[in-house]
A and B are shown apart, each in its own frame.
Chain A
Amino acid sequence: MSRALGLAVVLVLGMAFGPARAQNSDEIKLTLNAPLELTDADGKPVRGTDFAGKWLLIYFGYMHCVDLCPTGLTLLADAMEQIGPAAAHVQPLFITVDPEHDRGPMLREFAAAFDKRLVGLTGSDAQIAAAAAALGVRYQKVTLANGDYVVDHSSSLSLVEPAGRNAITFKMAEPHLVAAKIFDQLERAGTPLDNVRNLRAYR
């Protein structure tokens, strides 16, 4: 009995300290200690919990990135198409790692061009840093020799539960694999998926 208790204590302590590595090294489980706090393209404050009842599907990137980020956002948009009616439970978000440049109508239009449901979020340097850290996303602005800049960043998708506490961040893959992961998370949480017709194909 005390051995089981000891094991339970170890497990709880392990979970309390930062993101735990799931068995699949391409996915990490996270616990958010506070709601994500950012702003929309117009500078109005937005909290992750504002999207009441919805899972957040998040991609971190920036507009000056023409190769990797359109790939990532198209993957996100394709996955949103694949989950069909379950999309009613999901809010896709594009969070910029280049808040200095990515804001205003250009940010809004950029996001909408990939998917009409995609909302572009920006914020202060501190807000972006906090959101990225909470979701295990790393990024760094680098100035190149020719004066141009790039923002190196880890390329992943994050899925945050509606309560805003638990999240997973996983490596991007094919749209149907992303859709399968979304369905898996929604099912585990008991989100109703009866209106999804081809669910069996994703299990």
Chain B
Amino acid sequence: MIRAILILALVLAATSAFAQRQAKGSLAVESVWARATPGNAHDGAAYFRIVNNGSAPDRLIGVSTPVADKADAHETKMEDGIMKMRPLERPAIAPGQTLEFKPGGAHVMLVGLKHPLKEGDSFPLVLTFERAGDVSVAVKVERAGAARPTVMDHGAMDHSGHGSTAK
């Protein structure tokens, strides 16, 4: 009985983790989220963190999703008091580096949405890396204009019921 509970707990932990973190080799993509889109907006934005735990550099060379015609990495930056958005071409992630896509900085622009993104929804996104290849993640849709994703604080949860040591 306890064994069944432990297996169930592991399965649950694994499936809930899938939405937020996906590792392939030494590359991990975590905290993947998008903003809900206002009205019938044509485009949207997705954000995430890429962590390179390995000893070799890698590059993000493509992004795709079934919810939009195409997805491209862009970067918002300020020059002479003006905000500019430009394509981010094949951004590199050095060994040991974390590359963060967040509002006001790097972001994936979802161009030509097939339907509005609603808060609470989830949709698939595939990040293609030069070395690691394709990494599929589930994107969690947050509030429109959100500054960061809502995070489940595992540390604050009472896990005594099923003995999980996940943090």
Task: Name A residues whose Cβ lies closer than 8 Å to a Cβ of B.
Answer: 63-68, 70-71, 73-75, 77, 106, 109-110, 112-114, 138-140, 142, 144-146, 148, 150, 152-155
Contacts of B146 in A (CB 8 A): 74
Contacts of B39 in A (CB 8 A): 106, 109-110, 112-113
Q: A63 and B42: CB pair below 8 A?
A: yes
Q: B104 and A67: CB pair below 8 A?
A: yes
Q: If A63-B42, A67-B104 touch, does A138 touch B145 (CB 8 Å cutoff)?
A: no
B20 within 8 A of A: no
Can you name 5 extra interface pairs (CB under 8 A) apart from A67-B103, A70-B145?
A68-B76, A70-B144, A73-B38, A110-B38, A152-B84
Q: B45 and A70: CB pair below 8 A?
A: yes
Chain B 80-129 interface residues, beta-carbon cutoff 8 Å to A: 81-87, 103-104, 107, 109-111
Q: A153 and B82: CB pair below 8 A?
A: yes
Please name the residue on chain B nearest to A137 by beta carbon: B82
Contacts of B49 in A (CB 8 A): none
CB distance from B2 to the nearest CB of A (A): 47
Q: B104 and A152: CB pair below 8 A?
A: no
Contacts of B110 in A (CB 8 A): 66
Q: A114 and B45: CB pair below 8 A?
A: no
Q: B147 and A71: CB pair below 8 A?
A: yes
Q: If A66-B110, A67-B103 touch, does A73 touch B145 (CB 8 Å cutoff)?
A: yes
Kindly state the separation between the CA atoms of A68 and B103 in the bound complex, as whole angstroms.
Answer: 7
Please name the residue on chain B nearest to A171 by beta carbon: B81
A-B CB contact pairs (8 Å), 11 listed: A66-B41, A66-B110, A73-B38, A75-B145, A106-B40, A112-B39, A113-B41, A113-B144, A114-B38, A138-B81, A153-B83
Q: A70 and B35: CB pair below 8 A?
A: yes
Q: B107 and A110: CB pair below 8 A?
A: no
Kindly state the separation between the CA atoms of A138 and B146 in the bound complex, as whole angstroms.
Answer: 25
B74 within 8 A of A: yes
Please name the residue on chain A nearest to B44 by beta carbon: A66
Q: A68 and B40: CB pair below 8 A?
A: no
Within 8 Å by CB of B82, from A70, A71, A109, A154, lies: A154
Contacts of B58 in A (CB 8 A): none
B43 within 8 A of A: yes
Kindly state the separation between the CA atoms of A145 and B146 in the bound complex, as whole angstroms.
Answer: 30
Contacts of A140 in B (CB 8 A): 82
Within 8 Å by CB of A64, from B43, B104, B107, lies: B43
Q: A68 and B144: CB pair below 8 A?
A: no
Contacts of B84 in A (CB 8 A): 142, 150, 152
Q: If A66-B107, A74-B144 touch, does A109 touch B40 (CB 8 Å cutoff)?
A: yes
Within 8 Å by CB of A152, from B40, B45, B82, B147, lies: B82
Q: If A66-B109, A71-B147, A110-B41 touch, does A146 touch B87 (CB 8 Å cutoff)?
A: yes
Q: B144 and A114: CB pair below 8 A?
A: yes
| Ranked 7 nearest A-B pairs via Cβ | A74-B145, A113-B38, A109-B39, A66-B45, A70-B145, A152-B84, A113-B39
Q: If A64-B43, A114-B144, A154-B82 touch, does A70 touch B38 (CB 8 Å cutoff)?
A: yes
